[in-house]
Amino acid sequence: MDKRPLSPELLSPAGDFEKLRFAAHYGADAVYLAGKAFGMRRASANFADGELAAAVKYAHGRGVKVYITVNTLPRNGEIEGLPEFLEQIAELKADGVILSDLGVLSLCKKYAPEIPVHTSTQASVVNFESARMWHSLGAERVVLARELTLSEIGEIRAKTPKELSLEAFVHGAMCVSYSGRCLLSQYMAYRDPNRGDCAQACRWKYRLSEELRPGKYMPVFEDDSGTFIFNSRDLCMIRHIPELLRAGIDSFKIEGRVKTAYYVAAVTNAYRRAIDLYKSDPQKSLPDELFNEVNKVSHRAYGTGFYFDGSGPGEYYESPDPIREWDVAAVVDECNDENLALCTQKNRFFVGDTLELLEPGVPAAEVLVSELYDENRNPIRSAPHPQMKIMLRLPRKTEPMAILRRKRD
């Protein structure tokens, strides 16, 4: 396996402007996002034309790269709108276009020739010959298929040009289909997952029905409550930074453009700290506190995907719903020298509650809510209105965009 630099790129999802802001603030080196068309996540807000320009400007102003997804498999009727969109990307000077369709690649070379091309995971690159071919066609980066083991990635790294960057998912939801190439949603909900409209039919609860016994439903496995046979675990590789680097992965990608801004902030922060700890001392083991951080976002049971030989993501049988044990209580707007913070409430909490303060680059700190005020400094027991401005005292002075969270009862 190739020895790579100790500083991989940390690539975070930006499904809307709020998520972009939190990704940049909590340590992302780059973000990936989409316009209103041609992206694989219609469920996220994405960016209209003017918003796209503002997003690139905002990210670049903070030293964060922007990769724009054009990774759907467009039909004939959608091709006509591509040249204008690609010209817009070129004008914005985005740092890369993520694509999977050869026709899109051809148009990209014509209408946005200066923008680096990244081959999407949708292209299912699983061998070095495929990676070489994409590089020969002009790709500067390949986003590897999620089904690869670390040893296979190491061989791809060893047998491809050094100039070709390798990107791989390290955290987030896994798809039951091969690198996202799915038809289940289209068959069952008439929503095309290959054009960004997945209904996540793989998460539904299934039972068997026998032809001669109408109305009698049987669990697929011996389980009285049925089973979620396609419902995969989430990927989490935060404990395996050294192995990922030794395999030759240049960019660590976090899944989650449809997830919350809190998810983006917390997971980006955890991986940022893990990478920085490894850089400072490669022999030092990761503290449990960091792994606990990724357990404090909405997630399914974690696994290591296909990275280790003979393993797979495994199914999560208990429920299609994610595990969610923490809520965002408030987000800090500003904080004075007396550590009194003006915040926007997100979920209700009370005087006497214990919260956690999440900030970039440091462990979370416990906050006992001993006093609470409205924005006019009138004492209150709790904030009765959603999104209400409130004030409370923190254990230290914080920057805006710090997050206060509360463990669910």
**Which helix (H) or strand (E) segment is 234 a member of?**
strand 234-236
- pLDDT, residue 183, reads 65
Question: What backbone phi and psi angles, to 5 degrees, belong to 170?
Answer: -120, -15
406 DSSP β-pair partners: 327
Per-residue pLDDT tens digits of the chain, which is 409 residues long: 444 456 899 999 999 999 999 999 999 999 999 998 776 555 556 788 789 999 999 999 999 999 999 988 888 988 999 999 999 999 999 999 999 999 999 999 999 999 999 999 989 999 999 999 999 999 999 999 999 999 999 999 999 999 999 999 999 988 776 666 666 666 667 677 665 677 777 667 776 676 777 777 765 654 555 556 667 889 999 999 999 999 999 999 999 998 999 999 999 999 999 999 999 999 888 899 999 999 999 998 899 999 997 666 666 667 767 899 999 999 999 999 999 999 999 999 999 999 999 999 999 999 999 999 999 999 999 988 889 999 999 999 999 999 999 999 8
> Measured between alpha carbons, how far is residue 82 from residues 110, 158, 193 in Å?
11, 35, 19
| C-alpha–C-alpha distance, residues 305 and 217, integer Å | 32
- Yes or no: say if 74 and 82 are a contact pair by the CB < 8 Å rule: yes
DSSP string across 97-156: EEE--HHHHHHHHHH-TTSPEEE-GGG---SHHHHHHHHHTTEEEEE--TT--HHHHHHH
- pLDDT, residue 2, reads 44
**Neighbour tally for 341: CB within 10 Å:** 24
Amino acid identity, position 343: C
- Yes or no: say if 6 and 278 are a contact pair by the CB < 8 Å rule: yes
Q: How far is CA 257 from the centre of its chain?
A: 6
Burial of residue 301 (CB within 10 Å: 0-12, 13-18, 19+) is: middle
Radius of gyration of the chain (CA): 23
Task: Kindly indicate whether the domain formed by 9-177+232-303 is annotated with CATH number 3.30.930.10.
Answer: no
- pLDDT, residue 311, reads 66
On whether the pTM is more than 0.85, the answer is: yes
- pLDDT, residue 380, reads 96
- pLDDT, residue 284, reads 87
> Phi/psi zone of residue 404: left (φ > 0), alpha (ψ -120 to 50 degrees), beta?
beta
Provide the residue ranges of all domains of the chain, joining segments of one domain with +.
9-177+232-303, 184-219, 326-407
Output the CATH code of domain 326-407: 2.40.30.10
- pLDDT, residue 222, reads 41
For residue 150, give the DSSP letter.
Answer: H
